[in-house]
Amino acid sequence: MTINHRNILLNPGPVTLSERVRQALLREDLCHREPEFAQLMLDIKSRLVSVYPEAVGNYEAIVLTGSGTCAVEAMLSSLIPQSGKALIVTNGVYGERMAKMVKIHQKNLVVVTSPWEEPMNCDAVEQHLTQDSSFTHVVAVHHETTTGRLNDIAKLGEICRSRNVALLLDCVSSFGAENIQFSEWNLEACAATVNKCLHGVPGLSFVLTKKSVFESRYTAASSLYLDIYGYHQQQLEGYSPFTQSVQVSYALQEALKELEEEGGWQSRNELYKNRSQIIQNSLQSLGIRTLLNYADYSCVLKSYRLPPDYSYYDIHKQLKKHKFIIYAGQGGLEKTIFRIANMGNIYHSEIQELIQCFEKLFLAKAIKL
């Protein structure tokens, strides 16, 4: 199956697929209770952990049928004990969403909030942990796609490690493209999805969880479907307590092989950085400014200020005519920014075509810095 019309997705997932991954969706039908699927799942679990060699041997990938949000909620609801206490660090939509999850599951929490355009408040985190020894977990977002900020998890992780407080991390928009230091950050678990930096198909997500957690304490889950302990028990043999997405699993296996052959997460990081720099240079020459300082961004996504006399709708509409799909701002940033992600199977020639579209769009009016 070859797709003649090719959309270039510059939104933060799902991504433009390679033909190789797309073809994997056409493999034979298979029951998720058959041993062939169990072998497929065991291979996927091994490859997911191996994306970061430091995780091999100490972490297990728990694979769920659901979006990245599914994995994040499964991680939080299963691992924060009812008798525990979580310190949620937020500076965007996705940190705030995790705070809502913890509240819904009726776990004890304190929220340290920063404005969306600012870094996490690590000083406040340190103060809370110093004054209150009852915190069992710190919860944060690695790459906050609200703005594109790559949060300083090295600093946060150092605070957690020095106080022996476990870190739970939303890596939904960073896993497979940014560095993750499992030991240095005192990482108990991280949640991610397959349809962003891994270039898979939407429908599966996962939680890389420290194996010792399953051995040392019982589940804290307040949900049947989201209980990662239940998945852990059956996935040791490659099975799952509920129906898994078979075709999406085929595609994920192929996407992971593709990542390995291309040089792993480091290679993908460089690829994204190069794409991002080309786009940024072009927009900067047209007078379009980034929302954050350049050094604050992840390689995965950048946010740009809407120029005078342009709405997001104007820009989106014109780019979509040429098959490019960009992304709007969220919440209070909805009318002030647009976002461009760098993920997926995108050719250099297509990035050049995007730049030409920007030039035609913005040179029509004199945009000044």
216-267 per-position pLDDT tens digit: 999 999 999 999 999 999 999 999 999 999 999 999 999 999 999 999 999 9
Beta strands in 290-336 (DSSP E): 301-305, 324-325, 327-328
Say which residue the tokens 């997460």 belong to: 265
Do the first three CATH levels of 24-261 and 263-362 match, i.e. the same topology? no
Single-letter amino acid code for the residue at 360: K
Mean per-residue pLDDT of the chain? 96
Q: Report the CATH superfamily, name and number, of domain 263-362.
A: Aspartate Aminotransferase, domain 1 (3.90.1150.10)
Give the mean pLDDT of 137-151: 99
In 3-state terms, what secondary structure has residue 193? strand
The whole-angstrom distance between residue 298's C-alpha and the CA centroid of its chain comes to 11
Measured at the CA of 301, the angle between CA 297 and CA 303, to 5 degrees, comes to: 75
* Mean pLDDT, rounded, for 40-45: 99
Question: Per-residue pLDDT for 366 more than 60?
Answer: no
pLDDT at 363: 83
- CB 220, CB 80: distance < 8 Å: yes
Residue 68 corresponds to which tokens in the numbers above? 């990245």
What is the distance between the alpha carbons of residues 243 and 225, in angstroms, rounded to a whole number?
A: 11
Q: In the sheet that 166-170 helps form, which strands lie side by side, from edge to edge?
A: 59-65, 204-210, 187-193, 166-170, 137-141, 86-90, 109-113
What is the pLDDT, as a whole number, of residue 125?
99
pLDDT band at 364 (very low <50, low <70, confident <90, very high): low
Give the HSE-up count for residue 355: Cα atoms under 13 Å, Cβ half-sphere. 17
Mean pLDDT of 330-349: 97
Q: Which architecture, in CATH terms, is 24-261?
A: 3-Layer(aba) Sandwich (3.40)
Mean pLDDT, to the nearest integer, of 200-214? 98
Mean pLDDT on 190-197: 99
What percentage of residues in the chain have a pLDDT greater than 90?
96
pLDDT more than 70, % of the chain: 97
- Whether the CB-CB separation of 84 and 66 falls below 8 Å is answered with no
Parse the chain into domains and list their residue ranges.
24-261, 263-362
**pTM for the predicted model, two decimal places:** 0.96
- Decide if 101 contacts 73 (C-beta within 8 A): yes
368: pLDDT strictly greater than 50: no
User: CB count, 10 Å around CB of 211?
Assistant: 12
Model pLDDT, residue 2: 56
Say yes or no to pLDDT of 355 above 70: yes
Rg (CA), the chain: 21
3-class DSSP assignment, residue 280: helix
When pLDDT is cut at 50, 70 and 90, the band that residue 369 belongs to is very low
pLDDT at 5: 79
Mean pLDDT value across residues 107-132: 98
Residue 365 has pLDDT above 90, yes or no: no
Mean pLDDT of 146-168: 98
